[in-house]
Homo-oligomer: A and B are copies of this chain.
């Protein structure tokens, strides 16, 4: 038991994503006080965000109230607030509205956001997908495009409204493109009288030679075959050179389309500038083998906001398992410090593989010892994501909706709220 007269360490964790949540949970039995700060009141299960954007799931199905996740862990205080600055010298952070807060150890887990890499005009004409608010906007645009097409009498306008351009062929872009095509082909099949939703075009642009960079070539080739069979028009090895309200220019050719969805890049959320840290790719904080910022053993950075290069020289990817494992690791380091014990060995990422859905009832799974495709991979994808979701309630709700979608092609979350019924 901690000596009651000794001051307990105060750990401030900024960001309640996969990394921040895991760090706070890992400190359950440590004699420390944890303050977990997020600007949202919910933890978001990002891997299923595209299903909210395409009306397959409700926002609440993939979001869990942070407070209820820590209701029983009494050493955690949750703050709904935004960090504006950090003063590493005095070990204080400044919150929105000039309130300050002292820390003994700071864990930066602020994650990443969509990035258009300086093309601010492209950002105006295309929609990113990183938050629930983004997913709401994307869904309204998607459903609104079909509505506007149904009301239109101009064949050119209808064609443009029913063209969906997805930029970026990583898992997010692949899953989004497949899901839109699926929605058009199956879910909306009988719902309109003037348009044929089946005729909706989905164009997927990827600058690299293959979709799903990071997956083995055989799986990437399978994904391309499946998406093409579903009717997604693939443009790989083609750079998008321009984006405006009427479409994109790629490889010198103009592709008209009213709906442009941006899955081509992310950048770290602000945090490096708070502490004047050296930055890696896309504004990430370079960290050492113990996830601390070099020269500051009281500041950790984990997950998408951090750049971690392992002893073999590999930069770890910006995926949920890295963030979770780093969160758990940092909790062990902090708990050891609080006990006065020796620090654990350097962080080592245990890569358990990657999964991606490619259209209806099909997926690719790249696991350490086996590569799977098709229905088997899809069943595995479904089970893994159900297990990873937070809470029994959300698991049951998502399961019911997947079964209903699979059996009846129904998507119940086809909700447009407000009057944003048509694309700009």
A residues near B, CB below 8 A? 39-42, 58-61, 63-65, 67-68, 71-72, 77-81, 132-133, 136, 143, 147, 150-151, 188-193, 391-394, 396-397, 400-401, 404, 408, 410, 412-419, 421
Contacts and interface: CB of A to CB of B under 8 A. Distances in A.
A147 B191 contact: no
14 contacts: A40-B417, A42-B416, A60-B415, A71-B189, A71-B190, A72-B190, A80-B421, A133-B417, A133-B418, A392-B404, A393-B401, A393-B408, A393-B412, A400-B400
Contact of A414 (B41, B397, B416, B417): B41
Given A67-B192, A71-B191, A80-B421, A400 B396 contact: yes
A15 to B, nearest CB: 16
Instruction: Give the most central of A59, A78, A415: most B CB within 10 Å.
Output: A415
Contact of A58 (B61, B71, B391): B61
B419 A39 contact: yes
Contacts of A404: 392-393, 396
Q: Oligomeric state, in number of copies?
A: 2
A interface secondary structure, majority = mixed
A393 B397 contact: no
Contacts of A413: 60
A189 B72 CA distance: 10
The 4 closest A-B pairs by CB, nearest first: A67-B191, A71-B190, A58-B60, A65-B414
A132 B68 CA distance: 24
B412 A394 contact: yes
B81 A151 contact: yes
A132 B410 contact: no
Contacts of A63: 415
A41 B133 contact: no
Contacts of A391: 410, 412
A72 B189 CA distance: 10
A404 B393 CA distance: 7
